[in-house]
């Protein structure tokens, strides 16, 4: 039965949008409902800190389409009938990180972390919208709208290279070890000490345990059936609207 409710899904959860929110951007709405992983940087489409993935259904091809968008520019009601996935929809330290998140941590691709959810979502949207593993060039292109003031980009690009067609098996960085076998930080070029530093996390776990747990995945592991099983699906209700 047809309903005139304005419905969106956020990370797989159905939400009815009340009237009177036309002054809100999607970013303000997401943060208002407690999803503060998506950040407000510039507020004008320039930095990508607010990037989320939006999925809509194409009735002609009967497929869902996925886009990375700047939530700071999208009026809330413009995403009616769509599924929004934010960084919280991928994973976290408690439930386990998504491979896109974990490879950034492993490769020192996050420092202050303010830009990180945006980078993660741009990369995630590329993976979900490409049938084939992307090329390194496509990966760089998809990050063109994401700015980072800390890492200098190289560790981020290197991290995401595990998903690329030409180098999709193991994250290896030829400069990641010095002659003594000691890890070299890709950001500073100096011997890496972070493995010995306890994380400030209250549960006593450390970043090093998260890094050691990480085993690089190939794109194929999150593609095909296994991929569909693990990722948030397009809500069937929205295919009918």
- Say which residues have a Cβ less than 8 Å from residue 154's Cβ, sequence separation at least 6: 186, 187
Could you say which of 8, 74, 148, 162 contacts ligand FES (CB under 6 A)? Answer: 148
43 binds ligand FES (CB under 6 A): yes
Residue 198 corresponds to which tokens in the numbers above? Answer: 């306890």
Q: How far is the CB of 205 from ligand FES (least distance, A)?
A: 21
18-37 footprint of ligand FES as x/- string (CB under 6 A): --------------------
The answer to whether the beta carbons of residues 175 and 182 sit under 8 Å apart is no
Q: What is the layout of strands, in order, in the sheet containing 13-17?
A: 13-17, 6-10, 83-85, 51-58, 63-70
Q: How far is the CB of 175 from ligand FES (least distance, A)?
A: 20
For residue 89, which of 51, 41, 131 has the smallest C-alpha distance? 51
Q: Closer CB to ligand FES, residue 101 or residue 151? A: 151
Q: Closer CB to ligand FES, residue 17 or residue 150? A: 150
Q: How far is the CB of 68 from ligand FES (least distance, A)?
A: 11
Q: How far is the CB of 181 from ligand FES (least distance, A)?
A: 27
Any bridge partners for residue 17, and if so which?
A: 6
Residues from 57 through 116 that contact ligand FES (CB under 6 A): 70, 72, 110-116
**H or E element, residue 16:** strand 13-17
For residue 55, which of 229, 219, 231 has the smallest C-alpha distance? 231
Looking at 97-206, list the stretches that DSSP marks H as alpha helix, in order from N- to C-terminal side.
99-106, 116-129, 136-142, 154-160
For ligand FES (CB under 6 A), the number of binding residues is: 23
Q: Closer CB to ligand FES, residue 71 or residue 222? A: 71
The binding site for ligand FES (CB under 6 A) comprises 40-43, 45-50, 70, 72, 110-116, 148-151
């Amino acid at each position: 039965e047809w309903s005139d409710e304005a419905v969106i899904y956020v990370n797989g959860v159905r939400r009815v949008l009340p009237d009177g929110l036309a002054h809100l951007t999607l970013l303000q709405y997401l943060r208002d409902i407690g999803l503060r992983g998506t950040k407000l940087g510039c507020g004008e489409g320039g930095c990508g800190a607010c990037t989320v993935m939006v999925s809509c259904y194409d009735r002609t091809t009967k497929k869902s389409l996925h886009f990375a968008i700047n939530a700071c520019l999208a009026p809330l009601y413009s995403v009616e009938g769509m599924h929004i996935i934010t960084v919280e929809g991928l994973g976290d330290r408690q439930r386990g990180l998504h491979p896109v998140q974990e490879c950034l941590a492993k490769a020192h691709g996050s420092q202050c972390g303010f830009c990180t959810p945006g980078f993660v979502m741009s990369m995630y949207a590329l993976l979900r919208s490409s049938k084939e593993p992307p090329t390194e060039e496509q990966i760089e292109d998809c990050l063109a709208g994401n700015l980072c003031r800390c890492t200098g980009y190289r560790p981020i690009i290197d991290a995401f290279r595990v998903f690329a067609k030409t180098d999709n098996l193991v994250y290896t960085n030829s400069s990641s070890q010095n002659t003594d076998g000691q890890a070299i930080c890709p950001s500073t070029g100096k011997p890496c000490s972070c493995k010995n530093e306890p994380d400030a996390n209250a549960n006593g776990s450390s970043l090093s345990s998260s890094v050691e747990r990480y085993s690089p995945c190939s794109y194929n592991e999150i593609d095909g059936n296994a991929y569909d099983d693990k990722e948030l699906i397009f809500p069937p209700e929205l295919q009918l609207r």
